Amino acid sequence: MYHRILQDVIEKRNNKHKAIIVLGARQVGKTTLIKQILKQKDYLLLDGDNPTVRDLLYNPNTEEIKNIIGKHSIVFIDEAQRIHNIGITIKIIIDQLKDVDIYVTGSSSFYLQNEINEALTGRKWEYELYPLCWEEIELKEGYLKSLQQLDNILVYGMYPEVRNKRGDERFVLNQLTSSYLYKDILEFSGIRKPEILQKLLKALAYQIGNEVKYNELAQLIGVDNETVARYIQILEQAYVIFRLPPFNRNLRNEIKRNQKVYFYDNGIRNALIGNFSPFKIRNDKGALWENFLISERLKQNKYKERFAQMYFWRTKQQQEVDLVEIVDGNITGFEFKWKAKKNAKLPKTFVRNYQAKEMIIDKNNFRDFIIIK
């Protein structure tokens, strides 16, 4: 079992009179995380995948909730997005049963966040759990062994089940992309044309590291720009992809509209395009390396609660910075290379105009970038 960084974050925060909400894609380990936090504690598990539980929690009143919970002082509601009006139920527990601690997991933020945000204002701590991060793998397997597996990780990613079933990575990833990946999206988002979703995902998978233009995607898939924008938003809310906006403040020729799209996991991306070729012989090494580094940095920023803003920077003359990070007003630009040249530098225009710190990240120093102390 991998120790999750988020466990330490949650355990340090007093959850009295607040619900602990953990969101994330299916199969990233949300249920395992909460069970580990509650290990050796007596708690009531209410599984939203269980039809009986859904019926019991369908618009219950206070007395019905008290009867369901009984003498338990800890309640764990798993897959909460499947329970009607779950936000109201959690609110009743917090307000009326003040000695009860409540933990909640959900894998559909486009449904669950709407349910809980309105009902639970000031009553929750909300967290996001992602596929395993490099630091968690290193904690379990050690620095040397983890480094020896870097090529494998860049191809197959870091979903817990993928890591735990060596040799069956392709099967596990194909299962994830063909069933779990679409299950919540199709069930809760109102999408009626899954074939469009599949085409869009594949198109995005080929464009990691490049600017995404909605009009070009729309023409490729055969839909309008608004449909592309809506589907991309849904994929973000399902924790499949995330976007980086362009950084611009002063210069006329800076890119201001287009965005970049990255996948939370390299393995999911490669499964979507059906390419599990070894890393050393691939022609998309740079894209996989960039996706890995930026997704790892995002996980670290979230888990370590750095409140960092993440962008990319590019001009119409094709000057570019792969990642721009702003923390407490301080700007740092990062350039990613698998093997950087000794004289590699960021564009002088960017460094000079924004008084930015610059860093070149390659395979020799990447660990310092993806493990933030």
pLDDT bucket at 194, cuts 50 / 70 / 90: confident
Rounded to whole angstroms, the Cα distance separating 217 from 221 reads 6
Q: Which of 13-27, 249-263, 277-291 has the highest mean pLDDT?
A: 277-291
pLDDT bucket at 34, cuts 50 / 70 / 90: very high
- For residues 141, 145, 147, 151, the Cα torsion angle rounded to the nearest 10 degrees is -100
Contact (Cβ atoms closer than 8 angstroms) between residue 86 and residue 77: yes
| pLDDT, mean of residues 284-290 | 97
Average the pLDDT over each of 9-18, 19-28, 165-174 and give the range with the smallest value. 9-18
208 SS3 class: coil
CB-count burial class (<10 Å; 0-12, 13-18, 19+) for 157:
buried
Q: Is the pLDDT of residue 255 over 80?
A: no
CB-facing half-sphere around the CA of 334: CA atoms within 13 A = 20
Give pairs for 54-61: CB < 8 Å, separation 24+: 54/82, 54/83, 54/84, 57/83, 57/84, 57/86, 57/89, 58/83, 58/84, 58/85, 59/84, 59/85, 59/88, 60/89, 60/92, 61/92
Q: Is the pLDDT of residue 118 over 80?
A: no
228 SS3 class: helix
| pLDDT, mean of residues 32-47 | 96
113 SS3 class: helix
| pLDDT of the residue at 111 | 66
**DSSP code string of 57-78:** TSS--HHHHHHHHTT-SEEEEE
**DSSP code string of 317-356:** T--EEEEEEEETTEEEEEEE-SS--TT----HHHHHHHT-
Rounded to whole angstroms, the Cα distance separating 86 from 77 reads 9
User: What one-letter code names the amino acid at 219?
Assistant: Q
User: What one-letter code names the amino acid at 279?
Assistant: F
Task: Enumerate domains of the chain plus CATH numbers.
Answer: 5-128 (3.40.50.300), 134-370 (no CATH)
Q: Is the pLDDT of residue 302 over 90?
A: yes
| pLDDT, mean of residues 322-328 | 97
Q: Which of 75-89, 94-108, 156-170, 181-195 has the highest mean pLDDT?
A: 156-170
- What does the block give as tokens for 44? 């009531």
Mean pLDDT, rounded, of the chain: 92
| pLDDT of the residue at 193 | 77
| pLDDT, mean of residues 112-117 | 74
- What does the block give as tokens for 108? 């559909």
Contact (Cβ atoms closer than 8 angstroms) between residue 227 and residue 218: yes
- For residues 116, 48, 23, 226, the Cα torsion angle rounded to the nearest 10 degrees is -70
| pLDDT of the residue at 109 | 64
Average the pLDDT over each of 164-178, 185-199, 293-307 and give the range with the smallest value. 185-199
Q: Is the pLDDT of residue 318 over 90?
A: no
